[in-house]
Amino acid sequence: MKKKSYLYIFTSLLVCFFVLSACGNNQDEDNTSDSDNENKQTETENESGERTVTDAMGNEVTIPENPERVIASYLEDYLVALDITPVAQWSVQDGASIQDYLQDSLGDVPTIPHDLPYETVASHDPDLIIMDSAEMVEGNKYEQYSSIAPTYVVGTEQNNDWREEFKQIGEIFGREDDVQKELDEYKQKAEEAGEKIQTTIGDESVAAIWLVGGTFYIVSDNLSSGDVLYNDLGLALPNVVKEISESSEANWSEISLEKLAELDADHIFLINSDGEGAEALQDDIWQNIPAVKNDNIYEYGPESSWLYTGPVANEQMIDDAVESLTE
C-alpha cells in the first residue's frame, strides 16, 4: 500500500471515533429480547397509501407511499442491499472519508456531514429521514428534523443488532419479504463459507486488528467484523480478544502493547489505515505474534468493508475471509 498523507491519517482517526460507536450489536437473529418485541414496529395504512408506523422511540411516523428522497446517514448499507439510492450519503471531514465499499452503488450520490446540520438536510429536500439511534436526535433534535420530513429512529442503543435494523428498514419500505430473503441467503452463505474455512484451517484462531494513528485496535467478539468471524463463520476466538471484549462495549477497542504481546492468533486480518511501512508494524511485539511470524497476515485498507457492518459489508468480509484463509 502507498503511504498515506498526514491528512488521511487524521481523517482515519476521525472515522475511528464514529466507527467505535457505530451501529452493530450483532447478536444471533433468533435471540430477540422481550424489549425488542415491545419496540416492534406497528403499522396502519390510509387510503392515500401513506402508512403510520411507530419507531423505536415511540414516535408515530407517517411514511410516504413511495419514499424517493431518503436520508439514512450511516445506514446506507441496508439501502444498497435493497437497491434504494439515498439523496445524500454519510461522510466525515467534508467528504474526505466515506463508506468506500459502497461506492459502486453510491458513487454519484452527494455527501452530507455525519452530524446532519439542519440546513444541509433541508437542502436535499428529503421526504423521509431515518436515524440510526436515539442519540442522533437527543434534546430537541427530533422535532427539528421531523419539521423537515417524517423522521424514523431505528434503535435506542448505541449498538443495535444489524439484522433487526435491516428488518426495520424493510418494514419502513414495505420490503419485509425481500429482507427475509436476503437474511436467509446470508445465513446459507455464512454456513457454507464457515465449513470451507474450518476444513482448511481447523481450530486455528483468527483476529481482526485495526491500525490507525500508530495505535492498534482489536474487534469485539460480537460486533462488526468480529460477529462475522466468530458467530457467522464459527472461527476460533483468541483468548485476548475474548478478554478485551468482556470489558468493552465498543466495536473496536484499543489494545495495549502488553496485551498485544499475549495475542496468540494464528491468523490476523489487518485493517491498515497508516499505510505501508507503518512504524508500529516494525515493533518487536508485533513481529513476535504467531500469525506475523508465520506470514498469516491478510492486509486491507480502510476503504474495505472491515470497519463496518450490514448485509453488504458482511458479505464482502465473508468473501475476503474465504479468499484469504483457503488459499
**Residue 121 forms part of a structural domain:** yes
Whether pLDDT at 42 is above 60: no
Rg over CA atoms, the chain: 20
In whole angstroms, what is the distance from residue 52 CA to residue 46 CA?
A: 8
Split into its structural domains, the chain has a count of 2
Domain boundary among 166, 181, 196: 181
Q: For position 7, what pLDDT does the model report? A: 39
Residue range 126-139: mean pLDDT, rounded: 95
Average pLDDT, the chain: 88
Q: For position 44, what pLDDT does the model report? A: 57
Same-domain status, 303 and 221:
yes
Could you write out the DSSP letters of every residue in 155-207?
Answer: ESSSS--HHHHHHHHHHHTT-HHHHHHHHHHHHHHHHHHHHHHHHHHTT-BEE
Same-domain status, 18 and 54:
no
Helix or strand holding residue 315 (H, E): helix 311-325
Residue range 112-127: mean pLDDT, rounded: 97
**Residue 1 forms part of a structural domain:** no
Same-domain status, 177 and 226:
no
Domain boundary among 134, 164, 181: 181
Domain coverage including residue 267:
6-22+186-325
Q: For position 295, what pLDDT does the model report? A: 97
Domain boundary among 139, 159, 181: 181
Q: For position 49, what pLDDT does the model report? A: 82
**Residue 28 forms part of a structural domain:** no
Q: For position 8, what pLDDT does the model report? A: 43
Whether pLDDT at 301 is above 70: yes
Same-domain status, 135 and 166:
yes
Helix or strand holding residue 311 (H, E): helix 311-325
